[in-house]
Amino acid sequence: MTASLARDSASGATTARTRAQAKVNLSLRVLAREASGYHQIETLFCRLELGDDVVVRTNVRGRSLDCTGDAIPAAGLGPIERNLAWRAALAYANATGWPNEWSIELVKHVPVGGGLGGGSADAGAVLRCLNALSPAPLSVPDLLGLAAPLGADVPFLTMDTPLAAAWGRGERMLALPCLPGRSVTLACFPFGIATPDAYRWLDEARASDAPVATALDVHQLTTWTGVAALAHNDFEIVVASRFPQVAETLASWRAAIVRRRDPLAFAMLAGSGSTVFALGDDHLPAPDPGGQKPVRTVATRTATRVVGVDVSG
C-alpha cells in the first residue's frame, strides 16, 4: 500500500476521491471499562458496499468542509469541529505539517447515528485520500496511529481490508480473508442513538454482573457458518428495551429468517444502534411499522473489496 501511494503522490495530484464504506459488527462484545472511561471491546468488523462519496482537494485556499446527501438529518451534522472527517484532516496536517489548506466534500448516503460507522468511514476516507496526495505518505502503522484517537471504528475503516477482528479500543486488528458477498437489509429508524448513551445503559445494566469469559477459534471467523454461530451484540438488549421499534423489527426479521430456513442468516443491532440489519441470501421486506412512522429500508451487500482512492491533478 505504501509504495503505491508514494507513486501516486509523485504525479503531483491534488484531488483524491473514494467511497467511505459503512460497516456492521458481525459480533460485538463490550468488556472492561478502563479508568479513563473507555471500554475494551472484541468485535468482528465487516464493510458494506453502501458508502458516502468523499472528495479531498489540496489545490485550494483556506480550509472547508461541504456536506450534502439524502442521509443528512434535518437538524444537520453539528459543528464542523466535531465532524470526524474534519478532525481527520486536522490530525493529518498536525502530524505531518501538510497540507496547510484543503477542501473536503461529503455526499452522505450512510444513515447518521445508526451504528453503521458513517462518520468514522468518512474520517478513514479522508486519511486515505490525504495520504494518497501527500508528497511524503505515511506508513500504514503511522496512518492507523492517527486513526485510533478518532474513534474505535476509524482504524478499521482506514485499512484496506473488508473484514477484520478487532480488540482493545478497536486499534488492534487482525485482517481476515474476505468472505463471499451476502445480501444485507438495513432498517433505518427516524432516530439515532448516541454511543455514550448506549455504553452508559450497558454499564447500568451490568452493575452487578461481569462480562462472561469466552474463547474464540480464529477459524470460525473465516466462514459464514462460523460467523453466524458467533453473531451477537452486547448493546442489543439495552437498546431494544428502550426502543420498541428496534425490538419489534428484530423479532419480525428473525421470524422471517426462520420461515426461510436459511441457516446462515441472522438479524442484529448495528453497532450501538439504532439501525437493525439482516444478513442472508436475499433481502428482507420492510418491517411493519405497527402504527408508528414507517421504517426506511436500504438494500446493500457485504463488501468483497475496499474501494480504492482515485487521484487526479
Could you give the CA distance from residue 272 to residue 198 in angstroms, rounded to a whole number?
6
Q: Which of 8, 23, 108, 122 is catalytic?
A: 23
Catalytic, 293? Answer no
Active site residue 23: yes
Which entry of 8, 52, 122, 153 is annotated as an active-site residue? Answer: 153
Instruction: List, by residue number, the catalytic residues.
Output: 23, 153
